[in-house]
Amino acid sequence: MQVQRMILNECSYFGPGARKVLGEEIEKRKFHKIFVVTDKSLLEHHVTAKVLEELDNHLIGYEVFSDIKPNPTVASVLDGLKKCKDSLSDCILAVGGGSVIDTAKAIGIIMTNDDHRDVVSLDGSVNTESRALPIIAMPTTAGTAAEVTINYVITDEERKKKMVCVDPHDIPILSIVDTELMSEMPENIAAWTGMDALTHAMEGFITKNAWEMSDMFHLQAMTMINRHIVNAVLNHDMESINQMGVAQYIAGMGFSNVGLGIVHSMAHQLGAVYDTPHGLANAILLPYVMAYNGTVCVEKFNRMGEAFGLDMNALTKEEIIQKVVDHIFALNEQLHIPKRLIEIGVVEEDLKMLAEKAMQDVCTAGNPKEVSASDLLEIYQKAYK
Protein backbone atom coordinates (compact mmCIF):
# COMPACT_ATOMS: atom_id res chain seq x y z
CA MET A 1 0.00 0.00 0.00
CA GLN A 2 1.19 3.51 -0.67
CA VAL A 3 1.16 6.33 1.88
CA GLN A 4 -2.26 8.04 2.02
CA ARG A 5 -3.40 11.31 3.59
CA MET A 6 -6.79 11.94 5.18
CA ILE A 7 -7.86 15.46 6.25
CA LEU A 8 -11.20 15.94 8.01
CA ASN A 9 -12.83 18.55 10.29
CA GLU A 10 -11.78 18.57 13.93
CA CYS A 11 -15.39 18.66 15.01
CA SER A 12 -18.78 18.32 13.31
CA TYR A 13 -22.39 18.10 14.44
CA PHE A 14 -25.28 16.54 12.55
CA GLY A 15 -29.04 16.42 12.71
CA PRO A 16 -32.15 18.59 12.86
CA GLY A 17 -31.66 21.51 15.25
CA ALA A 18 -27.88 20.98 15.53
CA ARG A 19 -27.45 24.77 15.30
CA LYS A 20 -28.27 24.91 19.02
CA VAL A 21 -24.61 24.10 19.75
CA LEU A 22 -23.35 27.14 17.84
CA GLY A 23 -23.45 29.70 20.68
CA GLU A 24 -21.57 27.50 23.14
CA GLU A 25 -19.01 26.42 20.56
CA ILE A 26 -18.24 30.08 19.78
CA GLU A 27 -18.08 31.05 23.47
CA LYS A 28 -15.74 28.14 24.18
CA ARG A 29 -13.35 29.44 21.55
CA LYS A 30 -13.62 33.03 22.86
CA PHE A 31 -14.22 34.64 19.45
CA HIS A 32 -15.28 38.21 19.99
CA LYS A 33 -16.91 39.06 16.67
CA ILE A 34 -18.33 36.91 13.88
CA PHE A 35 -18.33 37.75 10.16
CA VAL A 36 -21.44 35.98 8.86
CA VAL A 37 -21.24 35.02 5.17
CA THR A 38 -24.53 34.09 3.50
CA ASP A 39 -26.57 35.02 0.41
CA LYS A 40 -29.58 37.21 -0.36
CA SER A 41 -31.92 34.35 -1.17
CA LEU A 42 -31.17 32.63 2.16
CA LEU A 43 -31.88 35.88 3.97
CA GLU A 44 -35.19 36.19 2.09
CA HIS A 45 -36.14 32.58 2.83
CA HIS A 46 -35.41 33.17 6.56
CA VAL A 47 -32.85 30.37 6.62
CA THR A 48 -30.00 32.58 7.83
CA ALA A 49 -32.34 34.07 10.46
CA LYS A 50 -32.55 30.69 12.22
CA VAL A 51 -28.80 30.84 12.78
CA LEU A 52 -28.61 34.54 13.64
CA GLU A 53 -31.17 33.85 16.36
CA GLU A 54 -28.63 31.57 18.04
CA LEU A 55 -26.00 34.33 17.98
CA ASP A 56 -28.52 36.82 19.38
CA ASN A 57 -29.51 34.40 22.17
CA HIS A 58 -25.87 34.24 23.22
CA LEU A 59 -25.27 37.99 22.80
CA ILE A 60 -22.54 37.31 20.25
CA GLY A 61 -21.69 40.29 18.01
CA TYR A 62 -21.71 39.83 14.26
CA GLU A 63 -21.84 41.50 10.86
CA VAL A 64 -23.57 40.00 7.80
CA PHE A 65 -22.17 39.86 4.27
CA SER A 66 -24.56 38.51 1.61
CA ASP A 67 -23.47 39.74 -1.84
CA ILE A 68 -22.86 36.26 -3.24
CA LYS A 69 -24.44 34.58 -6.25
CA PRO A 70 -24.37 30.90 -7.27
CA ASN A 71 -21.04 30.18 -9.04
CA PRO A 72 -19.43 32.84 -6.82
CA THR A 73 -16.97 35.31 -8.33
CA VAL A 74 -13.58 36.87 -7.65
CA ALA A 75 -15.34 40.24 -7.31
CA SER A 76 -17.54 38.84 -4.56
CA VAL A 77 -14.52 37.50 -2.67
CA LEU A 78 -12.80 40.90 -2.88
CA ASP A 79 -15.92 42.70 -1.69
CA GLY A 80 -16.32 40.28 1.23
CA LEU A 81 -12.63 40.49 2.06
CA LYS A 82 -12.79 44.25 2.48
CA LYS A 83 -15.91 44.02 4.64
CA CYS A 84 -14.39 41.23 6.73
CA LYS A 85 -11.28 43.33 7.40
CA ASP A 86 -13.35 46.42 8.24
CA SER A 87 -15.52 44.39 10.63
CA LEU A 88 -12.51 43.39 12.76
CA SER A 89 -14.01 39.90 13.15
CA ASP A 90 -11.91 36.99 14.37
CA CYS A 91 -14.12 34.19 13.00
CA ILE A 92 -16.12 33.60 9.81
CA LEU A 93 -19.48 31.84 9.97
CA ALA A 94 -20.68 30.56 6.58
CA VAL A 95 -24.41 29.83 6.35
CA GLY A 96 -25.31 28.63 2.87
CA GLY A 97 -24.65 26.28 0.02
CA GLY A 98 -21.32 25.64 -1.66
CA SER A 99 -21.25 29.13 -3.15
CA VAL A 100 -21.38 30.76 0.27
CA ILE A 101 -19.01 28.35 2.00
CA ASP A 102 -16.50 28.60 -0.87
CA THR A 103 -16.56 32.41 -0.77
CA ALA A 104 -16.05 32.27 2.99
CA LYS A 105 -13.06 29.96 2.50
CA ALA A 106 -11.45 32.31 -0.05
CA ILE A 107 -11.97 35.29 2.26
CA GLY A 108 -10.62 33.33 5.23
CA ILE A 109 -7.50 32.28 3.33
CA ILE A 110 -6.68 35.78 2.09
CA MET A 111 -7.29 37.28 5.54
CA THR A 112 -4.23 35.36 6.76
CA ASN A 113 -2.29 35.12 3.48
CA ASP A 114 -2.20 38.67 2.16
CA ASP A 115 0.14 37.73 -0.71
CA HIS A 116 -2.88 36.06 -2.36
CA ARG A 117 -5.09 39.14 -2.27
CA ASP A 118 -5.37 38.98 -6.11
CA VAL A 119 -7.50 35.80 -5.54
CA VAL A 120 -6.49 34.31 -8.93
CA SER A 121 -3.14 33.12 -7.57
CA LEU A 122 -5.13 30.68 -5.40
CA ASP A 123 -6.17 28.68 -8.50
CA GLY A 124 -5.17 24.98 -8.31
CA SER A 125 -3.21 23.30 -5.52
CA VAL A 126 -1.53 26.07 -3.56
CA ASN A 127 0.57 25.79 -0.43
CA THR A 128 -0.43 28.90 1.47
CA GLU A 129 1.64 29.76 4.51
CA SER A 130 -1.03 30.21 7.18
CA ARG A 131 -4.28 28.56 8.16
CA ALA A 132 -7.35 30.55 7.20
CA LEU A 133 -9.10 32.78 9.69
CA PRO A 134 -11.21 30.26 11.68
CA ILE A 135 -14.26 29.25 9.64
CA ILE A 136 -17.45 27.66 10.97
CA ALA A 137 -19.54 26.15 8.17
CA MET A 138 -23.27 25.47 8.25
CA PRO A 139 -24.45 24.02 4.93
CA THR A 140 -27.99 24.73 3.73
CA THR A 141 -27.84 22.40 0.70
CA ALA A 142 -27.25 18.62 0.76
CA GLY A 143 -24.76 18.78 -1.96
CA THR A 144 -21.25 20.08 -2.11
CA ALA A 145 -19.98 19.05 1.36
CA ALA A 146 -17.83 22.19 1.23
CA GLU A 147 -18.02 22.16 5.06
CA VAL A 148 -15.65 19.16 5.15
CA THR A 149 -13.61 19.53 1.96
CA ILE A 150 -10.24 21.17 1.45
CA ASN A 151 -11.47 22.77 -1.79
CA TYR A 152 -13.27 25.89 -2.84
CA VAL A 153 -14.41 26.92 -6.30
CA ILE A 154 -14.41 30.55 -7.40
CA THR A 155 -15.30 31.83 -10.89
CA ASP A 156 -12.84 34.16 -12.58
CA GLU A 157 -15.29 36.02 -14.80
CA GLU A 158 -12.52 37.61 -16.85
CA ARG A 159 -11.11 34.27 -18.02
CA LYS A 160 -14.51 32.51 -17.81
CA LYS A 161 -12.88 29.93 -15.57
CA LYS A 162 -14.07 28.12 -12.49
CA MET A 163 -10.93 28.01 -10.39
CA VAL A 164 -10.77 24.86 -8.28
CA CYS A 165 -8.62 25.89 -5.31
CA VAL A 166 -7.18 23.05 -3.24
CA ASP A 167 -5.66 24.00 0.10
CA PRO A 168 -5.87 22.14 3.45
CA HIS A 169 -5.61 25.53 5.21
CA ASP A 170 -9.21 26.29 4.26
CA ILE A 171 -10.92 23.44 6.13
CA PRO A 172 -13.54 24.72 8.59
CA ILE A 173 -12.62 24.31 12.26
CA LEU A 174 -16.21 23.34 12.95
CA SER A 175 -19.08 22.25 10.77
CA ILE A 176 -22.70 22.06 11.81
CA VAL A 177 -24.91 20.08 9.45
CA ASP A 178 -28.33 21.16 10.71
CA THR A 179 -30.81 19.52 8.37
CA GLU A 180 -33.58 21.93 9.43
CA LEU A 181 -31.66 24.53 7.42
CA MET A 182 -32.06 22.31 4.33
CA SER A 183 -35.69 21.38 4.82
CA GLU A 184 -37.25 24.17 2.76
CA MET A 185 -34.98 24.01 -0.26
CA PRO A 186 -36.97 24.48 -3.49
CA GLU A 187 -37.45 21.18 -5.31
CA ASN A 188 -35.12 21.96 -8.23
CA ILE A 189 -32.25 23.07 -5.98
CA ALA A 190 -32.69 20.00 -3.75
CA ALA A 191 -32.60 17.75 -6.84
CA TRP A 192 -29.54 19.39 -8.39
CA THR A 193 -27.52 19.59 -5.18
CA GLY A 194 -28.45 16.00 -4.27
CA MET A 195 -27.22 14.81 -7.66
CA ASP A 196 -23.99 16.77 -7.09
CA ALA A 197 -23.50 14.68 -3.95
CA LEU A 198 -24.16 11.48 -5.89
CA THR A 199 -21.66 12.61 -8.52
CA HIS A 200 -19.06 13.14 -5.79
CA ALA A 201 -19.68 9.63 -4.49
CA MET A 202 -19.52 7.97 -7.91
CA GLU A 203 -16.58 9.96 -9.29
CA GLY A 204 -14.71 9.68 -6.00
CA PHE A 205 -15.27 5.92 -6.00
CA ILE A 206 -13.65 5.38 -9.39
CA THR A 207 -11.07 8.18 -9.35
CA LYS A 208 -7.40 7.18 -9.82
CA ASN A 209 -6.43 7.81 -6.19
CA ALA A 210 -9.36 5.90 -4.63
CA TRP A 211 -8.42 3.43 -1.87
CA GLU A 212 -10.15 1.33 0.79
CA MET A 213 -10.97 4.18 3.15
CA SER A 214 -12.35 6.51 0.47
CA ASP A 215 -14.24 3.56 -1.04
CA MET A 216 -15.92 3.01 2.32
CA PHE A 217 -17.18 6.61 2.39
CA HIS A 218 -18.29 6.66 -1.23
CA LEU A 219 -20.15 3.34 -1.15
CA GLN A 220 -22.03 4.35 1.98
CA ALA A 221 -22.87 7.74 0.45
CA MET A 222 -24.16 6.07 -2.73
CA THR A 223 -26.33 3.67 -0.74
CA MET A 224 -27.83 6.47 1.34
CA ILE A 225 -28.34 8.97 -1.48
CA ASN A 226 -29.95 6.34 -3.70
CA ARG A 227 -32.29 5.39 -0.87
CA HIS A 228 -33.29 8.91 0.14
CA ILE A 229 -32.89 11.43 -2.67
CA VAL A 230 -36.32 11.01 -4.26
CA ASN A 231 -38.16 10.97 -0.96
CA ALA A 232 -36.25 14.02 0.27
CA VAL A 233 -36.70 16.04 -2.92
CA LEU A 234 -40.23 15.13 -4.03
CA ASN A 235 -41.94 14.30 -0.73
CA HIS A 236 -39.94 16.61 1.56
CA ASP A 237 -39.71 13.70 3.99
CA MET A 238 -37.76 14.96 7.01
CA GLU A 239 -36.01 11.69 7.81
CA SER A 240 -34.80 11.42 4.21
CA ILE A 241 -33.64 15.04 4.35
CA ASN A 242 -31.68 14.14 7.52
CA GLN A 243 -30.09 11.18 5.75
CA MET A 244 -29.20 13.30 2.70
CA GLY A 245 -27.46 15.81 4.99
CA VAL A 246 -25.29 13.05 6.42
CA ALA A 247 -24.74 11.25 3.10
CA GLN A 248 -23.43 14.31 1.26
CA TYR A 249 -20.98 14.91 4.13
CA ILE A 250 -19.80 11.30 3.96
CA ALA A 251 -19.16 11.71 0.22
CA GLY A 252 -17.21 14.87 1.04
CA MET A 253 -14.94 13.00 3.48
CA GLY A 254 -14.02 10.80 0.54
CA PHE A 255 -13.67 12.98 -2.54
CA SER A 256 -11.98 15.84 -0.72
CA ASN A 257 -9.09 13.48 -0.06
CA VAL A 258 -8.88 11.57 -3.34
CA GLY A 259 -10.28 13.87 -6.03
CA LEU A 260 -12.92 13.55 -8.73
CA GLY A 261 -13.00 13.16 -12.52
CA ILE A 262 -14.29 14.58 -15.78
CA VAL A 263 -17.96 14.95 -14.84
CA HIS A 264 -16.71 17.82 -12.70
CA SER A 265 -14.17 19.05 -15.29
CA MET A 266 -16.92 19.26 -17.90
CA ALA A 267 -19.54 20.68 -15.52
CA HIS A 268 -17.19 23.45 -14.38
CA GLN A 269 -17.05 24.80 -17.96
CA LEU A 270 -20.84 25.00 -18.16
CA GLY A 271 -20.83 26.94 -14.88
CA ALA A 272 -18.10 29.30 -16.10
CA VAL A 273 -19.53 29.96 -19.59
CA TYR A 274 -23.33 29.78 -19.09
CA ASP A 275 -23.62 30.14 -15.30
CA THR A 276 -25.31 26.71 -15.19
CA PRO A 277 -26.03 25.62 -11.59
CA HIS A 278 -23.26 23.21 -10.57
CA GLY A 279 -25.44 20.26 -9.56
CA LEU A 280 -27.60 20.49 -12.68
CA ALA A 281 -24.53 20.41 -14.94
CA ASN A 282 -23.18 17.36 -13.09
CA ALA A 283 -26.50 15.53 -13.11
CA ILE A 284 -26.92 15.82 -16.87
CA LEU A 285 -23.32 14.82 -17.66
CA LEU A 286 -23.03 12.00 -15.08
CA PRO A 287 -24.60 9.11 -17.07
CA TYR A 288 -22.75 10.01 -20.29
CA VAL A 289 -19.38 10.18 -18.52
CA MET A 290 -20.08 6.95 -16.62
CA ALA A 291 -20.79 5.21 -19.94
CA TYR A 292 -17.36 6.42 -21.14
CA ASN A 293 -15.47 5.43 -17.97
CA GLY A 294 -17.09 2.03 -17.37
CA THR A 295 -14.75 -0.08 -19.48
CA VAL A 296 -11.73 0.58 -17.24
CA CYS A 297 -13.44 -0.12 -13.90
CA VAL A 298 -16.16 -2.73 -14.44
CA GLU A 299 -15.63 -4.33 -11.05
CA LYS A 300 -16.29 -0.97 -9.37
CA PHE A 301 -19.39 -0.50 -11.50
CA ASN A 302 -20.61 -3.84 -10.19
CA ARG A 303 -20.16 -2.58 -6.63
CA MET A 304 -21.94 0.69 -7.46
CA GLY A 305 -24.85 -1.32 -8.87
CA GLU A 306 -24.99 -3.31 -5.63
CA ALA A 307 -24.94 -0.08 -3.59
CA PHE A 308 -27.96 1.03 -5.63
CA GLY A 309 -29.70 -2.23 -4.76
CA LEU A 310 -29.70 -3.46 -8.38
CA ASP A 311 -29.52 -7.16 -9.25
CA MET A 312 -26.00 -7.43 -10.66
CA ASN A 313 -25.94 -11.22 -11.05
CA ALA A 314 -24.88 -12.95 -14.27
CA LEU A 315 -24.30 -9.81 -16.31
CA THR A 316 -21.72 -9.28 -19.03
CA LYS A 317 -19.28 -6.37 -18.60
CA GLU A 318 -21.30 -4.27 -21.05
CA GLU A 319 -24.54 -5.06 -19.19
CA ILE A 320 -23.00 -4.07 -15.84
CA ILE A 321 -21.99 -0.66 -17.19
CA GLN A 322 -25.32 -0.13 -18.95
CA LYS A 323 -27.33 -1.05 -15.86
CA VAL A 324 -25.58 1.58 -13.73
CA VAL A 325 -25.86 4.21 -16.48
CA ASP A 326 -29.58 3.48 -16.96
CA HIS A 327 -30.11 3.78 -13.22
CA ILE A 328 -28.70 7.33 -13.27
CA PHE A 329 -30.86 8.29 -16.26
CA ALA A 330 -33.91 6.96 -14.39
CA LEU A 331 -33.02 8.89 -11.20
CA ASN A 332 -32.60 12.10 -13.21
CA GLU A 333 -35.95 11.54 -14.86
CA GLN A 334 -37.68 11.00 -11.52
CA LEU A 335 -36.14 14.24 -10.27
CA HIS A 336 -37.27 16.16 -13.39
CA ILE A 337 -33.71 16.83 -14.51
CA PRO A 338 -33.30 17.37 -18.27
CA LYS A 339 -31.56 14.66 -20.30
CA ARG A 340 -29.73 16.88 -22.80
CA LEU A 341 -27.47 19.91 -22.70
CA ILE A 342 -29.47 21.57 -25.49
CA GLU A 343 -32.36 21.87 -23.03
CA ILE A 344 -30.37 24.14 -20.70
CA GLY A 345 -29.12 26.62 -23.28
CA VAL A 346 -25.73 25.15 -24.20
CA VAL A 347 -24.68 26.25 -27.72
CA GLU A 348 -23.50 23.51 -30.11
CA GLU A 349 -20.76 25.68 -31.65
CA ASP A 350 -19.22 26.08 -28.17
CA LEU A 351 -18.70 22.36 -27.51
CA LYS A 352 -15.14 22.27 -28.92
CA MET A 353 -14.10 25.26 -26.82
CA LEU A 354 -15.71 23.69 -23.73
CA ALA A 355 -13.84 20.42 -24.34
CA GLU A 356 -10.52 22.23 -24.64
CA LYS A 357 -11.15 24.14 -21.43
CA ALA A 358 -12.25 20.96 -19.61
CA MET A 359 -8.92 19.33 -20.52
CA GLN A 360 -7.17 21.99 -18.36
CA ASP A 361 -9.44 21.49 -15.32
CA VAL A 362 -7.82 20.23 -12.09
CA CYS A 363 -10.28 17.31 -11.91
CA THR A 364 -9.30 15.82 -15.30
CA ALA A 365 -6.13 14.23 -13.94
CA GLY A 366 -8.19 12.10 -11.52
CA ASN A 367 -10.36 10.50 -14.17
CA PRO A 368 -9.93 6.70 -14.20
CA LYS A 369 -9.78 6.56 -18.01
CA GLU A 370 -7.32 8.66 -20.00
CA VAL A 371 -8.98 11.41 -22.02
CA SER A 372 -8.10 13.76 -24.85
CA ALA A 373 -9.91 16.93 -25.88
CA SER A 374 -11.57 14.97 -28.69
CA ASP A 375 -12.88 12.36 -26.20
CA LEU A 376 -14.36 15.17 -24.11
CA LEU A 377 -15.90 16.71 -27.23
CA GLU A 378 -17.47 13.38 -28.10
CA ILE A 379 -19.02 13.10 -24.62
CA TYR A 380 -20.36 16.68 -24.81
CA GLN A 381 -21.83 15.84 -28.24
CA LYS A 382 -23.51 12.66 -26.97
CA ALA A 383 -25.02 14.64 -24.09
CA TYR A 384 -26.03 17.53 -26.34
CA LYS A 385 -29.14 16.36 -28.25
Ligand X SMILES: NC(=O)c1ccc[n+]([C@@H]2O[C@H](COP(=O)([O-])OP(=O)(O)OC[C@H]3O[C@@H](n4cnc5c(N)ncnc54)[C@H](O)[C@@H]3O)[C@@H](O)[C@H]2O)c1
Nearer to Fe ion, 19 or 162 (CB): 162
Q: How far is 93 from 100, CA to CA, in rounded Å?
A: 10
Q: Rule CB under 6 A: is residue 140 a binding residue for ligand X?
A: yes
By CB under 6 A, tell whether 170 contacts ligand X. Answer: no
Q: How far is the CB of 177 from ligand X (least distance, A)?
A: 12
Q: At what angle do helices 187-206 and 262-274 cross, to 10 degrees?
A: 140
* Closest of 345, 205, 344, 213 to residue 283, by C-alpha: 344
Nearer to Fe ion among residue 196 and residue 361 (C-beta): 196
Distance, CA of 97 to CA of 105 (rounded, Å): 12
Query: Using the rule CB under 6 A, is 42 a contact of ligand X?
Result: yes
Query: For ligand X, which stretch binds (CB under 6 A), given 114-122, 178-186, 291-299, 335-343?
Result: 178-186
CB of 342 to ligand X, least distance (A): 22
**Identity of the amino acid at 312:** M
Which stretches of the chain bind Fe ion, using CB under 5 A? 196
> Which residues touch 73 (CB under 8 Å, ≥6 apart)?
154, 155, 156, 157
Contact between 153 and 165 under an 8 Å Cβ cutoff? The reply is yes
Which contiguous run of DSSP H or E holds residue 106? helix 98-112
Per-position x/- string for 243-282, each x denoting binding to ligand X as judged by CB under 6 A, each - no binding: -----------------------------------xx---
N residues, the chain: 385
Minimum gap (Å) between residue 223 Cβ and ligand X: 20
Return the SS3 of 313.
coil
Determine the distance from the C-alpha atom of residue 20 to the mean position of all C-alpha atoms in its chain, rounded to a whole number.
Answer: 25
The residues in 92-111 that bind ligand X, with binding defined as CB under 6 A, are 96-100, 102
DSSP 34: E
Determine the size of the site formed for ligand X (CB under 6 A): 32
Q: What is the nearest approach in angstroms of Fe ion to the Cβ of residue 143?
A: 7
The site for ligand X (CB under 6 A) is made up of 39, 41-42, 45, 47, 70-71, 96-100, 102, 140-141, 143-144, 146, 149, 151-153, 181-182, 184-186, 189, 193, 196, 278-279
